[in-house]
Amino acid sequence: MTKILTYDCTLRDGEQSEGIALSLEDKLRIVERLDAFGVDFIEGGYPASNPKDIAFFQRVQELPLSHARIAAFGSTCKKGVAPEDDQGLADLMGSGAPVVTIVGKTWDEQVTRALQTTLDENLRMVRESVAYLKAQGRIVVFDAEHFFDGYKANAAYALACVRAASEAGADSVDLCETNGGALPHEVEEIVRAVAEALPAQQLGIHCHNDSGCAVANTLAAVRAGATQVQGTVNGYGERVGNADLLTIVADLELKMDRTCVGEENLRQLTGVSQFVAETCNMSVPNHHPYTGASAFAHKGGLHASAIARFPEAYEHARPESVGNAQRMLVSELAGKASLVAKAASLGIDLASCPDKTQDILDDIKRREACGYSYEVADGSLALLLQRHLGAYRPHFTLESFRVIVDDHEDTGALAKDAMSEATIKIHVGNQRFVATGEGAGPVGALDNALRMAITAFYPELADIELVDYKVRILDENVGTDAITRVVITTRDKHGSWGTVGVSENIIEASWNALVDSVEYGLTRMLVPAS
């Protein structure tokens, strides 16, 4: 298998994504994880652009990396300045990074309009900068900025730029599809032309996703001869993002007979995606290729039935090969096979209860017609199945609850001082309790009151934590009479689960979802009902 080198830009291009701001410790943790995954090069950023990046290049040298090499990013020397006198190149050298990546112009109009210099001077800047850095003992990557636009505008000059870098000793010439507007057939054609013009030169590819083609363009470049791929984890980047390096790696490994990180490391793919997303305070989109929660999720009944006998029909790759897992979703579209498979994943055997399966399926469909959705509510679904099978034993029962919102200061739309108070009357076994709890919102108040009432009986509740709360208004055209669906996400030390509540009253919907979250949490811990 042909080896394709991987070059990660998450710490530079990825951090330019709206909503992402990485601390120094964040960047170092990502480096360690990408190194363990088997990435070949990790771009750390501009070594002198800000104090954080200066500190990064100092601290990263202390990490015991087993594989990856750190790259410092900069640009060619300035016009009219010799490389040895250029502060930017001096900063690159001062970073201590073994790899230096410099960006240079290859589009003639960029040279004359952006740099405001001559075409010959730009060639000098490229040639002398690469030669100088090579003479200092660095591995040099030349990023040919706007190469594809430049090639389409003036192929001869664009080729002259990359030839100058190549002849000066660049270890890799990486062609940058900077504005993300090229299509795969264009990229393949142009990369092949460069490969023919520079047959001995290692070529790389750096794509942006503005036209939705970044991954496809990268794969097209590899077909045409590129042996180094640049990208970011999860496709983070400015505007609509960069090529997703993880999707590229999976495609190359599983579909194009190339090797990047190897079969064993490839199983880390989903974990790496989730780790970096969490570190960036983001979430992996459910529908993200390979690593999303829905990447191998099956909802249609016919699909689920076929999956059991012929998974290749609806799964283009084995979920476990990328560290993901097959999921069966239960909805109004589900069939018996979907329900049986989903129940099995929850530890419930429906296969031995065929007479119950259709009744449960009919109940689910009736509930979904009323606004319930069990796709992200495994906890509520498990309790529903247990009720139908006669296995459900409630840990407590509600007599009544009341919620009061208390706002002492009239600050209008800017009010942030309102507090909620919830009083619940509840039964545990043959004992009755009344408890009052406070919280910033009604759900928090109800949660606190419930815990005050039952924690003495169920101390395991201390390990159960409410972590997310989502509200969706259904049939919003009917105004205040609209149905409200509440989804609560809860976790313990073993994992997380979702529960759902539906009502015309948002507080009642919230209470129902909250009760399910606690009941399922205690059930999965095998806590017996009092």
Tell whether the model's pLDDT for residue 165 goes beyond 70.
yes
Tell whether the model's pLDDT for residue 478 goes beyond 80.
no
- Please count the residues of the chain: 530
Amino acid at 233: V
Structure confidence at residue 9 (pLDDT): 97
Structure confidence at residue 330 (pLDDT): 59
Q: What is the DSSP string of 195-239?
A: HHHSTTS-EEEEEB-TTS-HHHHHHHHHHHT--EEEEBGGG--ST
Tell whether the model's pLDDT for residue 346 goes beyond 90.
no
Tell whether the model's pLDDT for residue 207 goes beyond 60.
yes
Structure confidence at residue 371 (pLDDT): 84
Q: How confident is the model at residue 100 (pLDDT cuts 50, 70, 90)?
A: very high
Q: How confident is the model at residue 318 (pLDDT cuts 50, 70, 90)?
A: confident
The predicted model gives 285-307 an average pLDDT of 72
Question: Is the distance from CB of 328 to CB of 298 less than 8 angstroms?
Answer: yes
Cα–Cα distance, 82 to 313 (Å, whole number): 61
Name the percent of the chain lying above pLDDT 90.
64
Burial label, 140 (beta-carbon count in 10 A; 0-12, 13-18, 19+): buried
Q: What is the DSSP string of 60-114?
A: GGGS--SS-EEEEEEEPPPTT--GGG-HHHHHHHHT--SEEEEEEE-SHHIIIII
Instruction: Report CA 330 to chain centroid distance, whole Å.
Output: 24
- pTM higher than 0.85: no
For CA atoms 405, 409, 415, 417, the dihedral sign is negative
Structure confidence at residue 117 (pLDDT): 96
Of 169-173, 189-193, 275-279, 443-447, minimum mean pLDDT range: 275-279
Mean pLDDT (the chain, rounded): 89
Structure confidence at residue 442 (pLDDT): 86
Quick one: 397-408+417-524 is in which CATH superfamily? Alpha-isopropylmalate synthase LeuA, regulatory domain (3.30.160.270)
Quickly tell me which residue has 């599983």 as its tokens.
254
Rounded to 5 degrees, what are φ and ψ at 170?
-55, 130
* 2-279 against 397-408+417-524: fold identical: no
Structure confidence at residue 415 (pLDDT): 52
For CA atoms 362, 363, 369, 375, the dihedral sign is negative
Quickly list H helices, 346-409: 354-369, 378-388
Tell whether the model's pLDDT for residue 476 goes beyond 60.
no
Quick one: 2-279 is in which CATH superfamily? Aldolase class I (3.20.20.70)
Q: What is the DSSP string of 256-301?
A: SSEESS-HHHHTTHHHHHHHHHHHTT----TT-TTTSTTTTEE-SH
Task: For residue 361, give both structure tokens.
Answer: 């399926």
Quickly list H helices, 346-495: 354-369, 378-388, 442-454
Q: How confident is the model at residue 374 (pLDDT cuts 50, 70, 90)?
A: confident
Cα–Cα distance, 428 to 140 (Å, whole number): 70
Domain boundaries, the chain: 2-279, 297-369, 397-408+417-524
The predicted model gives 325-348 an average pLDDT of 71
- Rounded to the nearest 10 degrees, how much is the dihedral formed by the CA atoms of 112, 117, 123, 129? -130
Quickly tell me which residue has 């509520």 as its tokens.
380
Angstrom distances, CA of residue 168 to CA of 41, 123, 131, 514: 21, 11, 5, 66
Tell whether the model's pLDDT for residue 210 goes beyond 90.
yes
Q: How confident is the model at residue 294 (pLDDT cuts 50, 70, 90)?
A: confident
Structure confidence at residue 308 (pLDDT): 59
Q: How confident is the model at residue 279 (pLDDT cuts 50, 70, 90)?
A: confident
Mind listing the pLDDT tens digit for each residue in 170-180? Answer: 999 999 999 99
Structure confidence at residue 159 (pLDDT): 98
Name the percent of the chain lying above pLDDT 70.
91
Q: Which of 244, 228, 523 shows the shortest CA–CA distance to 396? A: 523
Cα–Cα distance, 119 to 113 (Å, whole number): 11
| Residues in Cβ contact with 281 at an 8 Å cutoff, skipping those fewer than 6 apart | 19, 20
Q: How many CA atoms lie within 13 A of 183 on its CB side?
A: 1
Quickly tell me which residue has 């247990």 as its tokens.
386
Structure confidence at residue 384 (pLDDT): 94
Of 189-193, 423-427, 470-474, minimum mean pLDDT range: 470-474
Angstrom distances, CA of residue 500 to CA of 373, 376, 398: 7, 8, 18
Mind listing the pLDDT tens digit for each residue in 217-276? Answer: 999 999 999 999 999 999 999 999 999 999 999 999 999 999 999 999 999 999 899 889
